[in-house]
């Protein structure tokens, strides 16, 4: 018999194979996805948001977005929780060491992607057990946004990198080899960019003129010019123009980091590890992220059991949105809480 986590490990490789196939089909130049700075960058999820939805006095919390450790530290300091934290950014090793030093056995930290977690737990022989809460605070951490070499900020001049894990292709490499159709699709699907084809064409045109886009300010300049030239934006005003430019950064970030597939995996993981009544607390920084999370949650929200001949199947609901939890967060973004049924 396989444990649920072993099955998820197998699913991981299937998902990545499927993803690779999709990418190859889209064109030899397409790889993985990126992001940018559409969201606030510091955390808002804390114990006052999570704890009212948890029954256990000694909860087990899986923080899938450890970042600078703000959420984890708040839970460890103010509640009796045990926290398992994960982040794929190698720079989070510092956060992990600090939390381990301060909270000992109550905190366990891993470096890796969401899709690596089953393998990491298997490797260390760790039984996660039933979790009371899974936390996903999507977007970019404060340290990531402040580090110009990471390319997450639209402000100032930074290297056009945008990789959370610091592995794989950078945003700059992706733009260098992208083709019109693929780039336009990435911007539209991952970022919800309006006039995505025009924007993609203007980005690529710069390349054909042998001018590289290697930094965030160079990308910003191309996008600004592209929007200023396009009559479509004349009536719309500066605010909408700026939001659309932010969406370009968001779409690229999401593509670079394969965020769609990772997000789907994380939601499946939450389905497996959460105990009945446990909650997935998810902070999203953009409308696109919000609709993707909701889609992934409710697309597979039902399992069918006991199909007897001639009878209607019994449908079990996997998730429900906890009422009144669509909180607008201080620094932007929305927090949604889903309960595992
Ligand atoms: C908004 S930050 C989290 C901030 C954190 N709550 C805090 O208190 O500092 C999101 C974090 O998720 C991480 N992340 C994004 N996608 C990931 C993935 N697929 N696997 C692991 N970590 C991921 C990023 O590296 C980033 O550090």
Given a cut of 90, whether residue 83 has pLDDT beyond it is yes
Q: What are phi and psi of 168, to 5 degrees?
A: 85, -165
Decide if 13 is inside a domain.
Answer: yes
Give the domain extent around 106: 47-144+276-303+311-340
- Listed residue (3, 36, 4, 6) closest to 219, CA to CA: 36
149-182: buried (b, 16+ CB within 10 Å) or exposed (e) per residue?
ebbbbbeeebbbbbbbbeebbbbbebbeebeeeb
Q: Based on the fold, state whether residues 197 and 240 are members of the same structural domain.
A: yes
Q: Are residues 126 and 165 in the same domain?
A: no
Q: Is residue 208 part of a domain?
A: yes
What pLDDT sits at residue 43? 54
CATH of residue 124: 3.40.50.150
Indicate if 11 and 82 belong to the same structural domain: no
Q: What pLDDT, on a 0 to 100 scale, did the predictor assign at position 126?
A: 76
Within a domain: 89: yes
Residue closest via CA to ligand 1's atom 5 equals 67
Looking at the structure, tell me whether residues 99 and 233 fall in a common domain. Answer: no
Nearest to 41 by CA among 107, 138, 133: 138
Question: By C-alpha distance, which of 287, 292, 305, 270 is closest to 84?
Answer: 270
Average pLDDT over residues 48-65: 96
Residues forming beta bridges with residue 315, ordered by sequence position: 304
**Measured in angstroms, how far is the CA atom of residue 88 from the centroid of ligand 1?**
7
Residue 32 sits in the same domain as residue 162? yes
Residues 163 and 26 in one domain: yes
Q: Give Dmax over CA atoms of the chain in angstroms.
A: 67
First to last CA, the chain: 25
> How far, in Å, from the CA of 314 to the mean position of ligand 1?
37
Q: Is residue 102 part of a domain?
A: yes
Q: What pLDDT score does 80 carry?
A: 98
Q: Give me the mean pLDDT over the 286-302 stretch.
A: 85
| Pair (136, 188) in one structural domain | no
Residue 62 lies in a domain: yes
Shared domain for 254 and 182, answered yes or no, is yes
Closest atom, ligand 1, to C-alpha of 165: 25
Buried b (16+ CB within 10 A) or exposed e, 37-49: bbbbbbbbbebeb
Residue 306: exposed, middle, or buried by beta-carbon count in 10 A (0-12, 13-18, 19+)?
exposed
- Identify which of 40, 47, 67 to mutate to test ligand 1's pocket (most ligand atoms within 8 A of the CB): 67
Q: What percentage of the chain carries pLDDT values higher than 90?
A: 70
Residue 124 has pLDDT above 50, yes or no: yes
Tell me the mean pLDDT in the region 273-277.
Answer: 94
Give, using CA atoms, the residue closest to atom 2 of ligand 1.
141
| 264 within domain boundaries | no
In a domain, 265, yes or no: no
Ligand 1 atom 26: the closest Cα is on which residue?
67
Asked whether residue 61 is domain-assigned, the answer is yes
Is 319 found in the same domain as 236?
no
**Average pLDDT for the chain:** 85
pLDDT attached to residue 307 = 65
The answer to whether the CB of 152 is under 6 A from ligand 1 is no
- Do 90 and 138 lie in a common domain? yes
Confidence label for 330 from pLDDT (cuts 50, 70 and 90): low
Please calculate the CA angle 192-168-219 and round it to the nearest 5 degrees.
Answer: 45
Q: What is the CATH number of the domain that holds 220?
A: 1.10.150.170
Residue 313 alpha carbon to ligand 1 centre in Å: 39
pLDDT at 227 over 70: yes
Q: Does position 14 have pLDDT exceeding 60, yes or no?
A: no
Domain boundary among 196, 227, 259: 259
Domain total for the chain? 2
Cβ of 59 below 6 Å from ligand 1: no
Asked whether residue 98 falls in the same domain as residue 58, the answer is yes
The mean per-residue pLDDT over the stretch 206-235 comes to 92
Say if residue 156's pLDDT is above 90.
Answer: no
| Closest ligand 1 atom number to CA of residue 112 | 21
129 with 70, same domain: the answer is yes
Confidence band (pLDDT; 50, 70, 90) for 8? low
Q: For 20-35, how does the pLDDT look when each residue is reduced to its tens digit (9 = 90+)?
A: 333 322 222 222 223 3
Find tokens 């696109």 and name the residue.
Answer: 288
Quote the pLDDT of residue 178.
93
């Amino acid at each position: 018999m396989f444990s649920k986590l072993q099955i998820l490990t197998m699913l991981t490789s299937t998902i990545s194979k499927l993803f690779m196939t999709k990418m190859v089909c889209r064109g030899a130049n397409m790889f993985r996805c990126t992001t940018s700075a559409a969201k606030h960058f510091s955390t808002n999820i804390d114990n006052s948001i999570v704890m009212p939805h948890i029954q256990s006095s000694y909860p087990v919390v899986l923080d899938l977005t450890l970042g600078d450790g703000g959420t984890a530290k708040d839970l460890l300091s103010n509640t009796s929780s045990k926290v398992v934290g994960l982040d794929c950014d190698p720079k989070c090793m510092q956060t992990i060491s600090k939390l381990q030093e301060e909270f000992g056995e109550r905190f366990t930290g891993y470096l890796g992607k969401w899709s690596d977690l089953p393998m990491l737990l298997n490797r260390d022989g760790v039984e996660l057990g039933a979790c009371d809460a899974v936390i996903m605070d999507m977007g970019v951490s404060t340290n990531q946004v402040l580090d110009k070499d990471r390319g997450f900020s639209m402000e100032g001049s930074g290297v056009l990198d945008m990789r959370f894990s610091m592995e794989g292709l950078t945003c700059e490499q992706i733009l260098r080899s992208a083709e019109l159709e693929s780039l336009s699709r990435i911007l539209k699907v991952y970022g919800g960019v309006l006039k995505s084809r025009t924007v993609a064409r203007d980005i690529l045109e710069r390349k054909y003129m042998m001018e590289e886009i290697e930094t965030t300010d160079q990308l910003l300049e191309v996008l600004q010019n592209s929007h200023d030239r396009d009559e479509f934006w004349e009536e719309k005003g500066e605010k909408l123009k700026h939001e659309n430019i932010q969406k370009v950064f968001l779409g690229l970030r999401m593509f670079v980091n394969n965020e769609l597939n990772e997000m789907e995996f994380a939601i499946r993981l939450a389905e497996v590890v959460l105990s009945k009544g446990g909650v997935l607390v998810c902070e999203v920084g953009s409308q696109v992220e919000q609709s993707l999370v909701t889609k992934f949650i409710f697309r597979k929200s039902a399992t069918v059991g006991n199909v007897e001949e001639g009878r209607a199947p019994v449908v079990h609901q996997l998730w429900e949105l906890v009422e009144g939890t669509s909180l607008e967060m201080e620094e932007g973004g929305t927090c949604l809480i889903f309960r595992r049924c």
